[in-house]
Amino acid sequence: MSKEVKKPNVNKVDGKYYVNRIKRVVVKKRIGNLYIVDCEIKMRGIVCYSYYKNDGFITKYDPNGTASPKILYLEDLAFDILNAYIYKFDDEIKKMEITKYKHECYFINYIKNDNNYDVYFEYVDENNVNVQYILNDVSINDPRFILHNYPISELLMTEEIDNSPLYILSKERNDLELQRELRIRYGVETKEDCIELSKTKNYEVLPKLDKSFDINFVVSDITNEDSTLLDYSGYHILHRPYFAMKGSTHSKWTLNPYTKSGVDAAGINEKSITFEEYKEIIYNNIK
């Protein structure tokens, strides 16, 4: 008895490519009636597409509009999956629009979800078209925020904290918790910020020491929990790749309590302290 041949997820028919199933969708933004989406598709990976709601196809996104369009037609299941994400995005937009805050040339809003935030940003682009973003489940002091594949992160994290749309809105709403999180993110936190956040959040926040502690400490055996603590304390840790590890080890890290920076490596023969000892140095020298 012959085995039934399984239909490929992406199938070519009469010169056109059809997709049967989309594994996951992230709706990145809406530009007028156009949606920019990341689609995870078996046999294609994660690709950014443009899409008009209820159209039967998606087009590989070309922000410059210079490349020839690469179209992928949607079979019924793929169509339903994509539009479910689109309608969910539209519902979130409607909720955000009710209480959005206008500041100069943009609108902004956020909703708290436990320790994280859903963030909304809206502005009119150079073509006089309305652009709307939603960034879901954001942790302000997670270093992945600025690296997140959303242009919104660059719009929200300005060079100076007083120009940050999120900080402006947090002050407008007298949201002390978000203000403290952002001050830690920008490296301008106070001792009180760290103490109060440690009380209200379910994680510890390490304070910053003064310039007399602009010293690199070698710390051994950093655990995942330690790494998370450093993230939420506003540390910026650089990764040293394996090809640059001659004479170094990833079992020791280099940490600076003044700049709140570090590297996830140190010399093999360098003397080190434990992470608990590093924390003791910080708490014994807070001013």
> pLDDT at position 159, please?
79
How sure is the predictor about 141, in pLDDT bands with cuts at 50, 70 and 90?
Answer: low
> pLDDT at position 148, please?
46
Residue 2 has pLDDT above 70, yes or no: no
The closest of 68, 69, 45 to 57, measured between CA atoms, is: 69
> pLDDT at position 232, please?
84
User: Higher-confidence residue: 4 or 215?
Assistant: 215
**Segment among 12-16, 73-77, 117-121, 148-152 with least mean pLDDT:** 148-152
**Segment among 151-155, 161-165, 228-232 with least mean pLDDT:** 151-155
Query: What is the Cα 111 distance to its own chain's centre?
Result: 16
The pLDDT tens digits for 192-220 are 999 898 888 877 899 999 999 999 999 99
Residues of the chain with pLDDT > 70: what percent? 92
Residue showing tokens 């100069």: 104
How sure is the predictor about 145, in pLDDT bands with cuts at 50, 70 and 90?
Answer: low
**Rounded-to-integer distance, Cα 284 and Cα 13, Å:** 70
Average pLDDT over residues 215-236: 92
β-strands 273-274, 217-220 pairing: parallel
How sure is the predictor about 136, in pLDDT bands with cuts at 50, 70 and 90?
Answer: confident
**Rounded-to-integer distance, Cα 16 and Cα 156, Å:** 40
> pLDDT at position 1, please?
47
- Here the contacts of 11-17 (C-beta below 8 Å, separation 24 or greater) are 16/71, 16/73, 17/71, 17/72, 17/73
Residue 147 has pLDDT above 70, yes or no: no
Average pLDDT over residues 23-34: 93
Name the token pair of 182: 């952002």
**Rounded-to-integer distance, Cα 239 and Cα 265, Å:** 8
**Rounded-to-integer distance, Cα 267 and Cα 247, Å:** 6
**Rounded-to-integer distance, Cα 206 and Cα 216, Å:** 16
Residue 14 has pLDDT above 60, yes or no: yes
pTM: 0.76
Per mean pLDDT, which of 17-21, 103-107, 126-130 is the most reliable?
17-21
Domain range summary for the chain, segments of one domain joined by +: 13-92, 101-200, 211-283
**Rounded-to-integer distance, Cα 240 and Cα 83, Å:** 41
**Rounded-to-integer distance, Cα 277 and Cα 284, Å:** 10
3-class DSSP state for residue 191? helix
Name the token pair of 68: 């020839």
In order, the DSSP letters of 22-46 are --EEEEEEEETTEEEEEEEETTTEE
Contacts of 149 (CB under 8 A, 6+ apart): 26, 28, 38
Average pLDDT over residues 3-26: 85
> pLDDT at position 149, please?
45
Name the token pair of 121: 């940003």
Residue 240 has pLDDT above 70, yes or no: yes
The single-letter code of the amino acid at 49 is Y
Residue 7 has pLDDT above 90, yes or no: no
Average pLDDT over residues 140-147: 58
